[in-house]
Chain A
Amino acid sequence: MLKLSRSANLRLVQLPAARLSGNGAKLLTQRGFFTVTRLWQSNGKKPLSRVPVGGTPIKDNGKVREGSIEFSTGKAIALFLAVGGALSYFFNREKRRLETQKEAEANRGYGKPSLGGPFHLEDMYGNEFTEKNLLGKFSIIYFGFSNCPDICPDELDKLGLWLNTLSSKYGITLQPLFITCDPARDSPAVLKEYLSDFHPSILGLTGTFDEVKNACKKYRVYFSTPPNVKPGQDYLVDHSIFFYLMDPEGQFVDALGRNYDEKTGVDKIVEHVKSYVPAEQRAKQKEAWYSFLFK
């Protein structure tokens, strides 16, 4: 660069000098050279800095050509557009994919609401039942009570309809669980008798006051059953208004409230069962290295 500019400067100076003839020619040439050299030395940086990379360095008038796009600039724009377009397409697509995945994770209990966890109960046949019994199959849990004056059979009837449609139409078998919130009155025998009026696969669970209280807390069911009730004492018991759908890992998936009727409830459950990805598969498609970009 330095060499190029210097020789250009020299040529510029020599051109007018060569046209001259006679005595003064030599002197003028020397003076001219001297002047230009001095000028070039005093503000030598200017012509250098104005030469664009790959561009035409200097024209006859000594100025840098301006105003038109250089060839290299055109290439740079094309490259910029191609790379930028490809990256933006790729990241947009990945963002969408990761968002869907994250949503599924969030509903699986890593986000809100976080429910479930260890509990210890007894089923209506006298067998131990813990959170480990949820593993390996989808479960649907309902919290209620059997006490006669306040039977709300609508919900359990609805559950029976869901279970029938799910198995006959979609081949999906759930493990339906009925956890009592009223252990003082709902012994295994009472539960067995009460549930015989509903779908035969519903398994009744009960336990001590503290065990039931713990289970209700874990599933965020309002628990207000009074402890140490006297025999014959009347009291109100709360029941959940939700059916809790749990996946085969025992993780909470969804809570289905009153707004799900016999049809929409089935649709929702089918949707969840079909979109379920087993843990090993989820681990494989774990976070991509660039996922930090979307956080």
Chain B
Amino acid sequence: TETDKKQEQENHAECEDKPKPCCVCKPEKEERDTCILFNGQDSEKCKEFIEKYKECMKGYGFEVPSAN
């Protein structure tokens, strides 16, 4: 378990150095996913949140593909 802990710490450090896609833009993602949960992915209402999350991710250098 000690090696596990070390690895975890390393992971954390890595996350802070170079953010992972899953560690950033969490509020934007939550807003987007909640909207999709209640309205569906194709709803016009959610376009705004989908775009917001995309933009936020772009700021960290991640390209979110469009829905298909």
Residue numbers of A with Cβ under 8 A of B are 112-113, 115, 149-152, 213, 217, 220-227, 235-236, 238-242, 255, 257-258
Contact = CB atoms under 8 A, between A and B. Distances in A.
- SS of B interface (majority): helix
B37 A236 contact: no
Given A113-B38, A222-B41, A222-B50, 19 more contacts: A149-B20, A150-B20, A150-B22, A152-B20, A213-B68, A220-B37, A221-B33, A222-B32, A223-B41, A224-B65, A224-B68, A225-B65, A235-B65, A236-B21, A236-B62, A238-B64, A241-B29, A241-B30, A255-B37
A222 B68 contact: no
Contact of B22 (A115, A220, A226, A239): A239
Given A150-B21, A241-B33, A220 B68 contact: no
Contact of A242 (B37, B41, B67): B37
A112 B38 contact: yes
A227 B29 CA distance: 22
Contacts of B29: 241
27 contacts: A112-B38, A113-B38, A150-B21, A150-B22, A151-B22, A152-B20, A152-B23, A213-B68, A220-B40, A220-B41, A222-B32, A222-B33, A222-B50, A222-B67, A223-B67, A224-B65, A224-B67, A225-B65, A225-B68, A226-B65, A236-B62, A236-B64, A239-B22, A241-B33, A242-B37, A255-B37, A257-B30
Nearest to A115: B37
Interface of B: 20-23, 26, 29-30, 32-34, 36-41, 50, 57, 62-68
Contacts of B32: 222
Nearest to B53: A222
B24 to A, nearest CB: 11
A152 B12 CA distance: 11
A228 to B, nearest CB: 11
Q: Is the interface of A mostly helix, strand, loop or mixed?
A: loop
Contacts of A149: 20
Contact of A240 (B26, B33, B39, B68): B33
Contacts of A239: 22
A112 B34 CA distance: 12
B58 to A, nearest CB: 11
Contacts of A152: 20, 22-23
Contacts of A258: 26, 30
A222 B33 CA distance: 7
Of the candidates B37, B62, B64, B66, the one having the most CB atoms from chain A within 10 angstroms of its own CB is B37
Contacts of B41: 217, 220, 222-223
A255 B35 CA distance: 12
